Amino acid sequence: MADLSINLAGIKSPNPFWLASAPPTNSGYQVQRAFEAGWGGAVWKTLGDPILNVSSRFAAVSFNGQRVAGFNNIELITDRPLEVNLKEIYETKKRFPDHAIIASVMVEPQQEKWHEIIKRIEDVGVDGYELNFGCPHGMAERGMGAASGQVPELVEKQTYWAKEAASKPVIVKLTPNITDITVTAEAAVRGGADAISMINTINSLAGVDIHSWNTIPHVGGKGAHGGYCGPAVKPIALNMVAECARNPRIDLPISGIGGISNWQDAVEFLLMGSTGVQICTAAMHHGFRIVEDMLEGLSNYLDEKGMASVMDIVGRSVPRYSDWGNLDLNYKVVARINNDVCINCNKCHIACEDTSHQCIDMLKDSAGSSFLRVREEDCVGCNLCSIVCPADGAIDMIELTNELPPMTWNERQAYLGGIENESVDFAK
């Protein structure tokens, strides 16, 4: 069996599956139950000055029969006294010494505030800190969370202040509510961060009740934006992880977060540069025991790939992620329809005819039966037909042999620029 243990910036964990800082890590009782179920680590629900939460805090977006495709949350950081949290962290770490316990921390952007809370947490045995610069609601209105996390200078300063007081690794949790997450990631590097985690939740409004006209959720008839997470945000999170992982100025381990619901999702994040992953919505939807399937699935996958350790797959796909200008303009794929499998729903024809490149013909054979055929000379390989097709194996995307050598947009522009320069020189 492959070794599932990880080492993220010096923080050791028996496996890469951590619970994210959120309602599932609100107490020692919950974290201990999670460790008993098999989770490798937990980021404790954010510590700071205890706040008052509202009633009616969560909402979900369901889509096409899937419940909780997206999850919305207006809950804030811990509403429990710091002394109680610290006591439970100490007891949990004593009972589970080999599991990673990370203290999520959020205070006002003042040096003395960071020093004070870090020093109070130091003695309870945490394995590291996660600075919460991502929470988009409630705390942001008080100058914390995403309000700090959107300002590179504040990210750098607060990271530095935390590092001044901390004897354990410091992870900086980044907000996705920003134009370019690599800017704040680089600020975390300058501040001395040992690792980064991403993404925190995305600004959102889950919905509006069209009968009562109230927002979903609402608190006594009034609503507010909240944090969006769950399977729907996974592509956004994966892109942001990839952008940081391929940036040479961000040479830090990454804890990947965002819509991870099963072991396959976790593998995608690991391949794209995450050393470990954090999970919240899936645990809230299905309970802590989902980690059993994740552990089994990841272990079997690594064995099938001949990998001795989960760390061996970290970042394997990063070199394959680039900019559009580096893609081969001469690469060619086309769609081919397998009429033995096709169920004649015509969804591919409709999609192609109405919204793509009108290259699927409706024909009849000698017996008068209808069938579909792709005019490959007109197919641009957009994949739309295969995406909308409900029958597995009915449409394949086939790579064609191209006599032309690979050529990217950047190479083409450089070549054309060279020709123009030669023309100018020749004219002289």
For range 92-110, the mean pLDDT = 97
For range 49-55, the mean pLDDT = 82
CATH 3.20.20.70 domain position(s) in the chain: 6-320
CATH 3.30.70.20 domain position(s) in the chain: 324-400
For range 383-403, the mean pLDDT = 96
Min mean pLDDT across 62-66, 73-77, 79-83 is at: 73-77
Min mean pLDDT across 64-68, 170-174, 271-275 is at: 64-68
Beta carbons of 183 and 197 less than 8 angstroms apart:
no
pLDDT, tens only, 336-360:
999 999 999 999 999 999 999 999 9
Catalytic residue among 135, 229, 244, 348: 135
The residues, ordered by sequence, that sit 6+ positions from 96 with a Cβ below 8 Å of its Cβ are 32, 35
For position 320, what pLDDT does the model report?
97
Say how far apart CA 339 and CA 273 lie, in whole Å: 40
In this prediction the pTM is: 0.93
Q: How many CB atoms lie within 10 A of CB 79?
A: 12
For position 141, what pLDDT does the model report?
72
For position 422, what pLDDT does the model report?
63
Say how far apart CA 227 and CA 79 lie, in whole Å: 18
Say how far apart CA 27 and CA 11 lie, in whole Å: 21
pLDDT, tens only, 214-240:
999 999 999 898 889 999 999 999 999
CATH fold of the domain at 324-400:
Alpha-Beta Plaits (3.30.70)
Say how far apart CA 259 and CA 268 lie, in whole Å: 11
For position 423, what pLDDT does the model report?
56
User: Is pLDDT at 135 greater than 70 in this prediction?
Assistant: yes
The residues, ordered by sequence, that sit 6+ positions from 104 with a Cβ below 8 Å of its Cβ are 21, 43, 44, 45, 46, 47, 129, 130, 131, 132, 173
CATH fold of the domain at 6-320:
TIM Barrel (3.20.20)
Active site annotation includes 244 = no
Q: How confident is the model at residue 428 (pLDDT cuts 50, 70, 90)?
A: very low
Beta carbons of 72 and 58 less than 8 angstroms apart:
yes
For position 426, what pLDDT does the model report?
40
Report the percent of the chain where pLDDT is more than 70: 98
For range 320-329, the mean pLDDT = 96
Q: How confident is the model at residue 138 (pLDDT cuts 50, 70, 90)?
A: low
CA distances from 95 to 20, 32, 91, 99, 125 (A): 20, 8, 6, 9, 11
User: Is pLDDT at 101 greater than 50 in this prediction?
Assistant: yes
For range 13-25, the mean pLDDT = 97
pLDDT, tens only, 140-183:
777 777 889 999 999 999 999 999 999 999 999 999 999 999 99
User: Is pLDDT at 375 greater than 50 in this prediction?
Assistant: yes
pLDDT, tens only, 297-312:
999 999 999 999 999 9
